[in-house]
Amino acid sequence: MLQEPKFLSAGQFLLTTLVVKLAAMAALATMLARYRRFRHILIFEQRNWPDRLVFAVGLGVPFTAGVASRILLNYDAADLTLEGALLAGLIAGPYTGAIVGLSMSLPALAAGEYGAPFFAVGCGFAGGGFREACPKEDIWDFSPFVIFSLPRYVWRMLRDMQINWQVMLLLAPIGLEFIRQMVGNRYPLRLFHLSSPEPWLTLFVYVAAILTVSTPIKIWNNARIEHRLQEQEKLLLAAKVEALKSQINPHFLFNTLTSVSSLIRSQPETARAVIQKLSGLLRKLMQSQEQFVTLRDELVAIDEYLDIEQVRFGSRLCVKKSIAPDTLDVIVPSLLLQPLVENCIKHGFARKVGPGTITIASRREGDLAVIEIEDDGLGISDERVPQALSSGIGLSNVNERLRVLYGNQGRFALVGSPGRGAIARVEIPLALAIEERITA
């Protein structure tokens, strides 16, 4: 059995239009906040003219298209003239607000609504005026929930006899909507407005104006806060990595100076050669402020360190390398391998009778770059591995840096057996863009 079509009443149609209008503004604000350039403009209060023009285009084009849709398709919910111009002025200043307002008024002006340019540009300047007058953070604090705190804000303003900018920002869309209603009712063909069939429904028109302005500000402020938290996390991460890195140089320096002190009396020429190589290596380390280097550069630093140790141990120390060519350009944390090599020498065969060999190998395994430092020294038992990873500066530093930089994706393992040497294994994810996560 066929049913007769149901139509909305005039009041229901107005409420539906207001809801769709609010949803359209929220959707547009969310989409714009996803673009990096637009988000950059939101974050910094001091904006140059190119940034203001980008902001004006980002708002002006969709808002102008909405006004054109209202005129051509009779779709009233797409017209955001008041809210768009006021919002542009609040965020980017009076001239940007005026540009956006003028852009939106052109389709209406072409349709014979001669009051549209004056009203739209006026809304832009009104928003810019509020921006110049009130503290910038008060604008970002303006949210849809301000309505629920209105009695408290009004009482505070009357009690302290000081301007409460949340109340003033709330009154801005109300005042502009009042002007539009007055002019539109008197000259209905010269300025578009949403007319209500019942006087009490006019209240929802004013509430919608407040929400349609405050909702995008709330969305964009959340984007700003999220960006600031990300930046703070990057700075904290960089500071922690720098602190861990700074532990390595003194550790290496103290160990080398201890070795030099033992050579001064018995082998003064050898001690002099070690000091010269040490000064050259330290000079290079002090000049380099990079957090990350290629594996190729890291191996060069290891060679310079081993030059010092070979002066000390002579022919007793043998170094072998098995480096896969496709790993040489892999990005690794600087000074990551030096503590591992030093650990091989200090704990692997410094007390061993006879020669010792250190093998440095690298290869790719799936999405990981694997680097192994192996020695044939005294070795380590499984029971002592946890203590070595937690108590010693060198190994614990490497383990902590990998954890801080890569989370669960970067791993460090130490395996060995007494009398047969040990292997230190480092796994670094190839796909992780470290340079974008760390602020230099």
CATH number at residue 388: 3.30.565.10
Same domain flag for 190 and 272: no
The model's pLDDT over 241-286, given as tens digits with 9 standing for 90+, comes to: 555 555 555 666 776 777 778 778 778 887 888 788 777 777 766 6
Q: Specify whether 222 is located in the same domain as 268.
A: no
Q: Tens of pLDDT along 322-368?
A: 999 999 988 888 778 888 888 887 776 656 667 888 899 999 998 88
The whole domain housing 386 covers 264-437
* Predicted pLDDT of residue 353: 66
Task: Return d(Cα 239, Cα 237) in angstroms, integer.
Answer: 5
Residue 163 shares a structural domain with residue 273: no
Give the pLDDT score at 309.
77
Give the pLDDT band (50/70/90) at residue 401. Answer: confident
| 257 Cβ neighbours under 8 A, 6+ residues apart | none
Band of pLDDT at residue 69, cut at 50, 70 and 90: very high
Domain count, the chain: 2
Q: Mean pLDDT over residues 143-165, rounded?
A: 83
Considering only 12-16, 26-30, 242-246, 266-270, which range has the smallest mean pLDDT?
242-246
pLDDT in tens, 173-197: 999 999 999 999 998 889 999 988 8
Nearest of 381, 387, 321, 313 to residue 349 by alpha carbon: 313
Helical H runs in 321-433? 338-343, 385-391, 393-406
Average pLDDT over residues 286-308: 79
| Cα–Cα dist 166/155, whole Å | 12
356 with 424, same domain: the answer is: yes
Residue 237 lies inside a defined structural domain of this protein:
no
* Dihedral sign, Cα of residue 176, residue 178, residue 183, residue 188: positive
Are residues 277 and 221 part of one domain?
no
Q: Write out the E strands in 312-434.
A: 317-323, 331-333, 356-365, 368-375, 411-416, 422-429
pLDDT over 70 (residue 125): yes
Please state at what angle helix 202-263 crosses helix 36-43, rounded to 10 degrees: 90
In a domain, 244, yes or no: no
**Within a domain: residue 242?**
no
Which of 212, 230, 248 corresponds to the end of one domain? Answer: 230
Query: How far is residue 281's CA from residue 283's CA, in Å, rounded to a whole number?
Result: 5
Given 208, 230, 252, the domain boundary residue is: 230
255: in domain:
no
| Weakest mean pLDDT among 26-40, 58-72, 77-91 | 26-40
